[in-house]
Structure 1
Amino acid sequence: MSAKFSHLYQPLLLRIIHAGTGLATLGAMVTAYWTYEVYDRRWGSLGWPRWQEVEGIHGTFGLWSLLLLPVLLIYAVHRGSKRLVQPDFLAKVGQIPAPIAWYTLHRFANTMILVALGFAVFSGKMMSEKWLPQGELDHFWYFAHLLSWAVMLGAIAFHLLMTAKVGGVPLLVSVWRWPYRPKDSPRLWWGHAMTWRQQWRSNIAQAWRSRSLPLKILETTVLLMVILGWGLSLWKEFGPTS
């Protein structure tokens, strides 16, 4: 599909990954709060119905978030690194109200979304599905997962605020538009993937050497949270019980 682009344009692959991760994350957050309404309510309640099946739906949304997070992270670090925090963050953010300071905060907000989502999926995988139905509400990882909900909510609000500040409504809606440029056609993706596969070792090594220290820390930290979350939860499920 081709079209004239008088509005801000985002790469098609980014829009697909962003939309998938965003919808999974929002679904996980809504069902997480609903799960809290069902089993806890110690810090207030909106009076949502006590529908116990929502915990399983929350787990499904959480699983999709966990599966899509590495994809979003790798794309953001490799293809969208200019949209993430840069080594000169402190120097530029101190120039408020200059425009460069707001752009710097926008990059920081994009980065915080990735970290917050990593923390959320990691803390969620560390929980046991038996805790809440059994009334075990004082586990450390349950509190950590509750905290991750608040952190994620704040990160999303900050991300939307900074996006509106630097680009207004056009930038906010640009990730949800469907038309794409010929160079972004899905028909080309298989060829790009095959080319990358043939040179993947040199590509990875070169990309790692050229990446800034903040992005190396970001990629390593979030991927470790995903890997450890899976590994430790599997260990709890299938490891020794004695």
Structure 2
Amino acid sequence: MPKSPYQPLVLRILHGFNALIAILAILTSFWVYNIYDGRFGRLPLPEISGTIDLHGTLGLIFLLGFPAFGIYSVWVGNKRLVQQSTGKNLGRLNHPIGWYSWHRLINTAMLLAAIFALITGKMMQESWLPAGDLNQPWYQFHLLAWVVLVCCLALHIGLSLKVGGIPLVLSMVSWKYKSQDAPQNWSSHLRRWWQRN
């Protein structure tokens, strides 16, 4: 098996935290939909009281944690997002740059989908679904955000496996880090980065 690439510790912490909360929010949002809506289909899940509160709490945690990941992604990890050359390389699937370009596009779409889900969720009233008020525009947008987020997540995982395979996935969950990446060095890294930009 090829050696796992090294991922910065800050990226792994922010990515891991946000991924965990986002996946839990996606699961609980489906559970809430299943209990109160179900117009596009239902699963035989138990109706657990407080599911809507749990989803709201996870949404709030995601809202508080996501900005740090978003800022890191845009300023420090911008090489993993859409580049000027991304569009012209999307069709080059017989070369690695084609798949890397798709991966960057989906990484960017994943960030935008998360923002879409956060905004639409924030605009919702918690009382709408228990009251059967399912036609509120913000609820409709939040349902759409859920679909977009789930599709982006599936593509993100699939393309991560395509461009880096299991070593890339393992590098995102590794606990090992280089001495220069240690938490006690973060403030000096931040100062140097700030001075360059």
Q: CA RMSD in A?
A: 1.5
Call closer, same or farther: CA 1:41–1:97 in 2, change over 3 Å.
same
Partner of 2:70: 73
Is 1:31 aligned to residue 60 of structure 2?
A: no
- What's the counterpart of residue 156 of structure 2? 159
Q: CA deviation at 1:191?
A: 4.0
The count of aligned residue pairs is: 195
C-alpha distance in structure 1 between counterparts of 2:96 and 2:187, whole Å: 39
Amino acid at match of 2:59: G
Corresponding position of 2:143: 146
Are the aligned partners of 2:4 and 2:170 in contact in 1 as well (CA < 8 Å)?
Answer: no
1:83 pairs, out of 68, 80, 85, with 80
Relative to structure 1, is the Cα distance of residues 148 and 9 closer, same or farther in structure 2, using a 3 angstrom cutoff?
Answer: same
Q: Which runs of 4+ in 1 moved over 3 A?
A: 190-193
Return the letter of the residue paired with 1:160: I
Distance 2:127 2:41 in 1: 23
Structure having the higher Rg: 1
Q: Which residue of 2 aligns with 1:218?
A: none
TM-score, scaled relative to structure 2 = 0.94
Does the CA contact (< 8 Å) of 2:26 and 2:146 recur in 1? yes
For 1:33 and 1:52, locate their aligned partners in 2 and report how far apart those are by CA, in whole Å.
Answer: 14
* Separation in 1, partners of 2:46, 2:144: 22
Q: Could you tell me which amino acid in structure 2 is paired with residue 8 of structure 1?
A: P
State the Cα distance separating 1:186 from its structure 2 match: 0.7
Q: Provide structure 1 residue ranges, at least 5 long, that are not aligned to the other structure.
A: 1-5, 208-242
Matched-pair contact (CA < 8 Å) for 2:4–2:171: yes
What amino acid is the match of 2:23? L
Seq. identity, %: 42
| Cα distance in 2, alignment partners of residues 100 and 189 from structure 1 | 31
TM-score, normalised with respect to structure 1: 0.77
Map 1:17-166 to 2 at 5 A: 17-166=14-163
User: Which residue identity is paired with 1:91?
Assistant: K
1-structure distance, mates of 2:168, 2:4: 8
Distance, in Å, in 2 between the alignment partners of 1:87 and 1:11 is 24
Deviation of 1:78 (Å): 1.1
State the alpha-carbon separation in 2 of the partners of residues 52 and 36 from structure 1.
13
